[in-house]
Amino acid sequence: MKSIKFFTILVITLLFNVIVLGQQKAVIYLDGDSRLQGYFSKAKVSKAKIPGIIIIPAWFGLTDHEKEAANKLALLGYHALAADIYGPGNTPKTPEEAGEKANYYKANFSVFQSRIKAAINEIIKQGADGEQIVVMGYCFGGTGALEAARGDLPVKGVVSFHGGLGKDPKRPNTLIKPSILVLHGADDPYVPAADINGFQQEMREGKADWQMIYYADAVHAFTEKKAGNDNSKGAAYNETADKRSWEHMKLFLKQLFM
């Protein structure tokens, strides 16, 4: 009797893993000769055309934070891919290494854009509608989301969570086709006023459909629970800003895909 009960539990567990956990998986894809490994979460809906959301990680690379976001987006009915920028085995171990890697891609923006385009190709391969793609990102990834717009990648919208807004002033402002949502900590010390002013001017000159929302008492990394709660450090979690920004993103996506 015990063996039958054990077998039944085992079967149920295996079925759960196939039906539920099978909806999330690691995916290997390429950007030219560069091998990348992302995390794909399949939409929990069944319809002909499903939008796809690319999530660009912060400067430490792909973590549970981006994977959790992908799973939440899948529950909302979107295919979601937490993308890889650095490649397997290249995850930075210190803030200094993270800064060095992030600065490389910011300076070499065409390489950054190419990494994002590879993720877009992959999510379409996984079943997302190629005409309904959004790129979102956190911190360094928020900068990447804006680069998707600046690079005229095939996206309908971009969302930046506490991302860097500046770009090399030598780069000309160009037409911005995707809709833009910037979710910004009002007290973020890492985004100077000059970058904010430059970004807003870029949006105006680019004739963009853009919006920028500020969150009171929020600094950098306000969606990252592991950042602690000490605003004096410049980066800290803010529960209110985290929840509000997620709701603002949901409304943005709803309006974009209606």
Q: What is the pLDDT of residues 126-139, one digit of tens each?
A: 999 999 999 999 99
Q: Is the pLDDT of residue 7 over 60?
A: no
Q: What is the pLDDT of residue 23?
A: 83
Mean pLDDT for the stretch of residues 36-49: 92
Per-residue tokens: 37: 């490994």
Residue 3 pLDDT > 80:
no
Reply yes or no on whether the pLDDT at 2 is more than 60.
no
Residue 222 has pLDDT above 80, yes or no: yes
Predicted pLDDT at 4: 53
Least confident of 46-50, 129-133, 143-147, 246-250: 46-50
Which amino acid, residue 104?
A: Y
Span 59-112, pLDDT tens digits:
999 999 999 999 999 999 999 999 999 999 999 999 999 999 999 999 999 999
| Helix 95-107 vs helix 109-125: crossing angle, to nearest 10 | 90
Q: Hey, what amino acid is at 91?
A: T
pLDDT of residue 20: 44
The pLDDT of residue 46: 80
Q: Is the dihedral of CA 123, 132, 249, 194 positive or negative?
A: positive
pLDDT at position 160, please? 98
Q: How many CA atoms lie within 13 A of 3 on its CB side?
A: 0
Token code pair at residue 93: 């171990």
**Across 227-253, average pLDDT:** 97
pLDDT confidence of residue 19: 40
Q: Which domains does the chain have, with CATH numbers?
A: 27-257 (3.40.50.1820)
CA dist., res. 132 & res. 68, Å (int): 21
